[in-house]
Structure 1
Amino acid sequence: MAKGIGSTTWHSHDDQDETFLLVSGSLTVQLRDRDVVLGPGDLFVVPRGVEHCPKAEGEARFLVIGTTITSTAAGGKPAWSHDGGRPPS
């Protein structure tokens, strides 16, 4: 389970698909060719190797489903979020 506000960095996962299941709020999964807007109950799979950048204007709660942990710098976690930081205003 994850809680997000703001955006990650553009990234891809060469070793796995990444699945988002939105629980509350709104989440936009930006792809290079389109945006996919998710609402509560929506599920979206980003295929392995596809560059993406999730962002939430307000607080969003979602499940991120993958074979390994993706909440790292390599998984797009922005520098401001390290050590419990807050997104820039």
Structure 2
Amino acid sequence: MVIGDNLIIEFHDGEVKLNEGEMFVIPKNVEHKPYAESECEILLAEPKGVVNTGQEITDQTAENDIWI
């Protein structure tokens, strides 16, 4: 178990643990599940049109392509 400001990204065949200041690029169409044991802040960059819930549209699907 990892406790602290770490972000863990699970894949079907393993996981990646990221510490503060680290970056990881997930290839297109790779299923993954990010989580953290405690609150952490991340910067997420995705191409225009990417849906945060993958192929499914649910009540958790975020509105997309909003300029912030």
Normalising by the smaller structure, the TM-score range is 0.5 to 0.7
Larger Rg: 2
Name structure 1 gaps, 5 residues minimum.
Answer: 1-24, 83-89
Shift of 1:67: 1.2
RCO (CA 8 Å, sep 6+): is it higher in 1 or 2? 1
- Determine if the alignment matches structure 1 residue 58 to structure 2 residue 38: yes
Q: Distance in 1 between matches of 2:48 and 2:15?
A: 25
Aligned-partner Cα distance in 1 for 2:53–2:28 = 17
Identity %: 30
| Pairs aligned (count) | 55
Long gaps (5+) in structure 2: 62-68
TM (normalized to structure 2)?
A: 0.65
Q: Alpha carbon RMSD of aligned pairs, Å?
A: 2.6
**Which structure is higher in helix share?**
1
